[in-house]
């Protein structure tokens, strides 16, 4: 419970993430749904993003709320990624997922929007 409150707080803690490794160039992919939300990515999501995005803590858009996600997607992919990486309002930098790569964030966003279902091994 303490982690939930910390992850959705409005304080701006700095992270150890090397922000210079994110160059804003997304030539690799222009649509979030190109990256797969596999078991590893979903494990990271469950330990970080889910804390706020399951119930909408601190006004985070809820998983599957297509109206709210469409409003955010209209701002553009790069804007969303910048906000995830650097933090925005109550969302801390990287959503406290220090082990996440840009492709992880893309897959997680696509999952929350509903464009990318989680893939599990069989």
pTM of the model: 0.71
Tens-place pLDDT, residues 19-74: 444 444 433 333 676 778 899 999 999 999 999 999 999 999 999 999 999 999 99
Say if residue 106 is exposed, middle or buried (CB neighbours under 10 Å; 0-12, 13-18, 19+): buried
- At the fourth CATH level, the homologous superfamily of domain 32-122 is Cytochrome c-like domain (1.10.760.10)
Residue 85's pLDDT is 96
- d(Cα 76, Cα 38) in Å, to the nearest integer? 24
Provide the pLDDT for residue 51: 94
Q: Which residues pair with 100 in a beta bridge?
A: none
Instruction: Provide the 8-state DSSP code for 91.
Output: B
């Amino acid at each position: 419970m303490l982690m939930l409150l910390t992850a959705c707080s409005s304080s701006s803690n700095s992270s150890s993430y090397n922000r210079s490794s994110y160059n804003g160039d997304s030539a690799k992919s222009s649509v979030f749904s190109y990256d797969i939300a596999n078991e590893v990515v979903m494990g990271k999501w469950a330990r970080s993003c889910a804390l706020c995005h399951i119930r909408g803590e601190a006004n985070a858009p809820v998983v599957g709320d297509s109206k709210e996600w469409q409003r955010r997607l209209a701002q553009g992919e790069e804007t969303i990624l910048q906000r995830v990486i650097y933090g925005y309002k109550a969302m801390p930098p990287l959503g406290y997922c220090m082990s996440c790569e840009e492709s992880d964030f893309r897959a997680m966003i696509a999952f929350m929007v509903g464009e990318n279902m989680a893939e599990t091994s069989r």
